[in-house]
Structure 1
């Protein structure tokens, strides 16, 4: 991912890409091996997206939006729940009985989170944050996604500065593991 535009446009495009992966999962029959590959691809994109939001979007929400602390805290809670589901899903194959339950929970959680961000948080941020700053945040988010982890790390810090310091190193290790294992690649 990395599309250009302000932070809201960037993140909405990410949301659409994840929804496309969810649709691919739903279109395949239970147990089909490609469902795991698409779930891994969704996890990779969601983790990168979440790390970038936690590093740049939510601090901006805290700074610019009235009631931003409560909004950002709720979003971080949503991320923590989704990240735990992704961590549990990581250990399942498409044929495992638990896979369908977990992927269903993940899709429900993420779809609810997306609806909340796009219907509530993004309009409020757009109304209260200068356009130049939204553009700068878009650039920062794109940069963060390039070095972000690709695997869920539920115990990792989710607030600056610790998350900004640790994410690139963890991301490098994750990308190496993905390259060696072929994770997220269709056969």
Structure 2
């Protein structure tokens, strides 16, 4: 979390970290405790990343990219599917067969979403948005991830203005819960 660079560099680095977490979960077959910890870390990263995109990336896409409303709406719909799967994973133990099924579904959804962003959306944004704005958005995304929720909240609003109002409060509650339970150490 917090890598530096413009918004595209920041989010692309997040994408690589999430890919690595998927790989670690797939490689760890013997220790259910480690698999749970990795799944929790994956969830925390994906939720923070999604919230930051919804707060800052997609409003910029709507503003700067031709057809940006449709692009942003599609990406937000992708996030909703991922968040639904994360919520289901949260209640699943690594020893259950459903755990691996959910990880596979999540990986498939996240991989498709990442490819779409990196192959299309980021290029369109880079071509239409001033470099200074991309740099500014990178800083805003880093800050948003620091206060974003760490647990899935599928029913929470994912567009402004309500997401900007509610996300920091949900993030605070999630981080308190994480500290009390030892999640994400």
Question: TM-score under structure 1 normalisation?
Answer: 0.96
Q: Partners of 1:92 and 1:116 in 2: how far apart?
A: 29
Give the superposition deviation at 1:29: 1.5
CA separation in 2, counterparts of 1:54 and 1:123?
Answer: 18
CA contact (8 A) 1:147 1:172 kept: yes
User: What are the ranges of 5 or more consecutive residues in structure 2 without an aligned counterpart?
Assistant: none
Q: Work out the CA distance in 2 between the residues paired with 1:2 and 1:31.
A: 29
2:27 corresponds in structure 1 to 27
Report the counterpart of residue 132 of structure 1 in structure 2: 132
Task: Report the number of matched residues.
Answer: 185
- Which residue in the other structure is 2:93 paired with? 93
Return the offset for 1:170: 0.5
**2-structure distance, mates of 1:71, 1:145:** 22
Partner residue, 1:148: 148
Give deviations 1:97-148, integer Å, cap 9, x for gaps. 2111111111111011101100000000000000000011111111111100
Q: Deviations over 1:5-62 (max 9, x none)?
A: 1000000000011111111011112763311111110110000000000001000000
Q: Corresponding residue for 1:60?
A: 60
Q: 1:31 to 1:99 in 2, by over 3 A?
A: farther
RMSD: 1.0
- The DSSP-based 3-state class of the residue aligned with 1:183 is coil
Task: Please state how far the C-alpha of 1:78 moved relative to its aligned partner.
Answer: 0.2
Residue 182 of structure 1 and its aligned partner are, at CA, apart by 1.2
The answer on whether the counterparts of 1:61 and 1:125 sit within 8 Å (CA) in structure 2 is yes
Q: Could you list the runs of 5+ residues in structure 1 that have no partner in the other structure?
A: none
Moved segments of 4+, more than 2 Å: 30-33
